Amino acid sequence: MKVTDIVKALDLKVFSGEGGLDRDVSGGYVSDLLSDVMGNADTGQVWLTLQTHKNVMAIASLKDLAAVILVGGHKPDENTAMQSNEEDIPVLGTNLPAFDICGKLYELIYNT
């Protein structure tokens, strides 16, 4: 499954990093604690968070994540979007709260 498939199926907004929409997705990880993501997320996962600052992209890039989904209507800071474009790691968005979007994403990745 590609990031673009998730965008279409879950009707996500693409804020930035369009160049990375064809990245392969291996799974997902949900956390707003950066060290938790650093220590426990894995390559190719989609990261769901409400953190919007630039350090999110530093972590996404260091961990080779497939994309970031900002939950609950959050929008990326300007320099977050800029780094997302430079790294070709998409920042996506949804108005749904974390629980709801996680449920849908889980269903999509593991049961379709």
Partner 1 sequence: MAERMQFEYNVDGGNFTRAGYASSEIKKILKKLNVDLAVIKRTVVASYEGEVNIVAHAYSGTIYVDIDTERIRIRLQDEGPGIPDIDKAMEEGFSTASSQVREMGFGAGMGLPNMKKNTDRMEITSEVGKGTTVEIEIVLK
Maximum Cα–Cα distance for the chain, whole Å?
Answer: 36
Question: Min. distance of Cβ 8 from partner 1 in angstroms?
Answer: 29
Q: How many amino acids of this chain bind partner 1 (CB under 8 A)?
A: 19
Angstrom distance (rounded) from CA 71 to CA 56:
13
Q: Does 78 bind partner 1 (CB under 8 A)?
A: no
22 or 36: whose CB is closer to partner 1?
Answer: 36
Q: Does 33 bind partner 1 (CB under 8 A)?
A: yes
Q: Does 54 bind partner 1 (CB under 8 A)?
A: yes
User: 49-76 as b/e, with b when 16 or more CB fall inside 10 Å?
Assistant: bebbebebbebbeebebbbbbbbeebeb
Q: How many residues does the chain have?
A: 112
Q: Which residues here bind partner 1, judged by CB under 8 A?
A: 32-36, 38-39, 43, 49, 51, 53-55, 58-59, 61-63, 79
